[in-house]
Every structure is written in C-alpha cells, then in structure tokens.
Amino acid sequence: MDPCPFVRVLVGNLALKMPSATNRGGGATSGAGVHPTTAPCYCRIRLNKLSYQTASAPLLPPSEEGPASCTGAFAAAFHVSKADLDRAAAKPALFAPRRTARLKVAVYAGRRGSSCGGVSSGRLLGKVVVPLDLKAAAAKPVVFHSGWVSIGKRRGAGRKPAAGGGGAAAGNAHAQLNLTVRAEPDPRFVFEFDGEPECSPQVLQVQGRMKQPMFTCKFSCRSNSDLRSRSVQSDPGNGGRNWLAKFGSERERMGKERKGWSVTVHDLSGSPVALASMVTPFVASPGTDRVSRSNPGGWLILRPVDGTWTPWGRLECWRERGGGGAGGDSLGYRFELVPDHTNSGVGVCVAESAVSASKGGRFAIDLTAAQPFGRSGSPGCSPRGSGDFGHGLWPFGSFRGFVMSAAVQGEGRCSKPTVEVGVAHVGCAEDAAAFVALAAAVDLSMDACRLFSCKLRRELSASRAELLR
C-alpha cells in the first residue's frame, strides 16, 4: 500500500506582551485600555479558507523576552491534502500572483465568544500573516516562524519581527505576539467505500486518481443472541466474553430499539480481518423518540487474534439537541481503546465530539493537542522531541498525533465514507481494516440515532436481512 502525501501545519507557543496603558507624557498608546492583568486575550487562527481555530494567548510582562517566555502549548493544527498541495505547487497563470498558503492570526482582547452574525465579540488588537511554502513541507519538517512579532494597525506591522519588548512613544507602541509555526509531512492511507455500508460495498484504496479494491464489507442485521453465538467467537482467556456480556445485556429496553447490526471487513482473499458489532442497542429514552447521551448505543470494533475475535475499541453514539448548526440536532460520539490495547489496563477515550445530524461532518481521532508542543519539527513525544512523556507513560498506547478521520454524511444523504489513516498507525492491512470497520460503525450510527418517529431504510430492516440470508 502506498500512502498519499499530506502536510500538517502546527501552531503553538502563543504568548502576548502589551505596551503600557499610558506613555511617559500621559498620552494613550495603541494598547490603551488593555491591561495585562485584567484583559484576557485570544487568537483566531486560519489557514487559507479552512475553518477558524481559537486558542488563548497568555499575557506576559513587557520586560520578559526570549524563549523562556514561551508557554510550550499547542494552539492549532491544520491538515492539508494532496489536492491542496497540488494547487499550491501549480504554476500560476500569466500575470497572476504566485499561489502561497497564508496563515492568518488575529489577536483579540476580551473573552471568547460570538455575537449575532458570527463576528467575534472581542476587540481586535492586530493581525499576523505568515506565508507558507507547503511544497517544501511535504518532503521534510519546516519551521516557518518562531519568535516575537509586532501586531497593530500600522501599515506593515505584523510582518516585521520585534526588536525588543520595551515601551514605545505614542503612536509607535505595539503589542507583540510570540508564536511558532511549523509544518511537517503527514502521509496517510486513504480508503473510500464505493457504496453505503449497509449495502455491503467494496472499499477502495485511493492513490491520486487511481483507485483499487482493498477490502469488502458484509452488513448483517441480527438479534443480540444470534450476534453473540454466531458473529463473534469470544475467548474466555482474553476477556472478550466479558466485554460482550457487559455491553450486550445492559440497558436492554422493550419497545423501540435498533440492534444487532454488524459489518464484517474481509480482505481480497475473503478472510475476515475486522468486525464492527452493535452490542448495546440504540434505544429511545423513556417519553422521547431519541437516543440520549445517558443511554447511548454501543459498538465493539474487533480484530482476529489467533483465530479469535478480540475487542480493540468501543464506540458509543447518541443524539444531542442543538449543536448541529442552525439549531439542528447532532450525533454525539465517544471512542475508547479497550483495556487489552492500552498501557494502563483501563479503557482510554481517544475521541469525543459531535457532528451535525443534518449536514454531517468528520469523525476524527487526532491526539496532536495532547502532545507537548516543541519548537523542533519532531513530534513532542518522540525520543528526539521536546516532550516530557516517555513511551511507557503515554496514556494512548501507540496512538500519537493524527490517527484517522472519516467523512460522515447527514441524515437522508447517500453516504460513501472516505477514511484517512495516518501511516504511523498502519503496520499491515489488518490495521487499516480496523479503522475501516470503525468508520462504517460511525456512519451506521447516524441512522441508528435517527428519531424513532422516522422510518429507517429497508437495507437496515431486520426482516429484510433475514430474507437475504
């Protein structure tokens, strides 16, 4: 399997120094009305047209300078695909400016939040623009900026590094922002379902414009007892039976429920290499027609180990009111590694968020923010990185940085998930198959969490599944 090139742009080490509120002559400076001890500050960060990300900017005394003032904290991460890299590397048209990625950092004073219309509620202090040569970053790590830079409304401010942190005369004093911007190669394997998971599709590996079959999926809709006896053969010695007993029998409810779905992923030889099994039914909470966060449905993601299905991860999903944009509902999710695959012996949550139920979004496992942010291009927790975590102390096992993401379509839309998996997390085809099974479970959960007043598609009907056996 050959990966596709991706680049990850990381921003961190944010810190802010403000000029004195008044100068020696008593006149107000550009920082008037903002005192380091009373006004919180934050940054809105954006790469090209990607979504904004927000991070706090700690205030430091104006007298502090140099690397010792840096917080070492992660602020934002942006992921650039091969298509974006190709556009950045393309030759511009005649008389057209050269295409260059631009990282924009806007600094605000005030508490985070949005007013009506989506405009930031803070007071803009200034902006910084950092040009990025992403083509170079596709080959090796590149640090584009590291240090202090002046911000302000004066023309040209925010582009020249600050010489020092002292005060200035009225009209010339500017706040100073410290930041580190770096980019590094982040190659990924890309897989695409050629149909909806409930239609037992093929899964293709994508390499540029080329697509080739890699896996096949088999969807089944069975009762819980049938699932435990036929779909999963648990080994009493490895704890698999305990997981199935725990999650297959709890919170059973009479009445409305969706249960027994499973997706088995096979390699091209027909051997099963991963399995997603719904082991906790998706049940409507009493008095409602929705799956609540307090009573979520659950899936187990299993892998074959010595001929026996062994739990690898657990996914829980539910339906949340609001949070889906324009007041719509959202699909909440939580994914954790099961004990046998963590260093601590207990389940560890590696992803928890929500996507819009109407518009969809992306399910992602990305632990970049959990790693210490260093100035070097190496990962914060690698042996040569700047992190403090040793390999044995890292709570997420072998998961580091970007792990995987999957596109999730909204309700009622044709869904053919695209799955991206970091190269560092795939040692063999079976590793990739586990993430493919997880992506299928997330996609099917969008249907499992639909309001019970809505009728499911016939492909998800247990009665139809019985006829297809």
Amino acid letter at 70? C
3-state secondary structure of 227: helix
Cα end-to-end distance, the chain, whole Å: 33
Residues 127 and 121: their CA atoms lie apart, in Å, by: 16
| pLDDT value at 139 more than 90 | no
Residues 79 and 44: their CA atoms lie apart, in Å, by: 17
Provide Rg for the chain, Cα atoms. 25
| pLDDT value at 387 more than 90 | no
Residues 56 and 73: their CA atoms lie apart, in Å, by: 10
Q: Which of 86, 55, 85 is nearest to 186 (CA)?
A: 85
Q: What would the pLDDT profile of 140-182 be if each residue is shown by its tens digit?
A: 999 999 999 998 754 344 444 444 444 333 345 678 899 999 9
Q: What is the mean pLDDT of residues 440-464?
A: 84
Q: Which of 360, 285, 348 is nearest to 318 (CA)?
A: 285
| pLDDT value at 298 more than 90 | yes
pTM: 0.79
Residues 139 and 7: their CA atoms lie apart, in Å, by: 9
Q: What is the mean pLDDT of residues 407-433?
A: 92
> Which percentage of the chain shows pLDDT scores above 90?
48
- Between 47 and 88, the more confident residue is 47
Q: What would the pLDDT profile of 180-192 be if each residue is shown by its tens digit?
A: 999 999 999 999 9
Please answer whether residues 93 and 22 qualify as being in contact, where contact means their C-beta atoms are separated by less than 8 angstroms: no
Q: What would the pLDDT profile of 335-358 be if each residue is shown by its tens digit?
A: 999 887 666 667 889 999 999 999
Q: What would the pLDDT profile of 90-127 be if each residue is shown by its tens digit?
A: 665 555 555 678 999 999 988 776 544 444 567 898 99
| Cα separation values, 356 from 76, 129, 170, 353, Å | 22, 31, 49, 11
